[in-house]
Amino acid sequence: MFMNRKNEIRKIVKEQLAILNKPLYEDKSYRIATQLYQDRSWRAAKTIGVTISNFPEVDTYQIIRKAWELGKRVVVPKCIPAQKQLIFRTIESFTDLETVFFGLYEPVEELTTAVDAESIDLVIVPGLAFDRSGFRIGFGGGYYDRFLADYHGGAISLAFQAQLFEELPVEEHDIPVAKIITETAVIVADE
């Protein structure tokens, strides 16, 4: 039942995001990034964990560039499918990335260094749908829920307003983020 409902929500959100035109996408992504840069957790973080976005996810390229400009270390996850695990690796340039399954960009192991989760101050957690309690529906792999189970740093998500729901189906293993930043608001979970 949960999986059917989650898949239904994934489909709805993908359809809504697919109609975003490029100018609107860029504007909304920029407004989200601007809100992020004002956030205390961003300003305090020395090491930022972030995925490389694929349209229509909120653009993270500009966020990564800003982090580099500010002297922050940027770490990007590499998926280990056999264990459904994420290993974050430091990137210093977009040329440190390669295309892997589903058109995702991940760090090239030979060009990057793995970092321990404890050294990541803030992780920007991707997802398709979010609720005001900080719960999210991801892309179905469960990688981030596994990572967040043992992670003790800050965890936030970036989302377009269209990705917000009042309530999502939640399973025992689902782990909420502390904050969701949209183009119009900063939602602190359970406030």
Annotated binding-site residue numbers for ATP: 6-10, 136-144
Q: Which residues are annotated as a binding site?
A: 6-10, 52, 57, 136-144
Give how far Cα 141 sits from Cα of 66, 83, 126, 184, Å: 29, 11, 12, 29
Report which of 102, 81, 85 is spatially closest to residue 145, judged by C-alpha positions.
Answer: 85
Q: Which residues are annotated as a binding site for substrate?
A: 52, 57
C-alpha 26/C-alpha 142 separation (Å) is: 28
C-alpha 10/C-alpha 3 separation (Å) is: 10
C-alpha 72/C-alpha 65 separation (Å) is: 10
Give how far Cα 136 sits from Cα of 64, 74, 101, 122, 146, Å: 22, 23, 22, 17, 13
Rounded to 10 deg, the angle between the 22-38 and 61-69 helix axes is 40
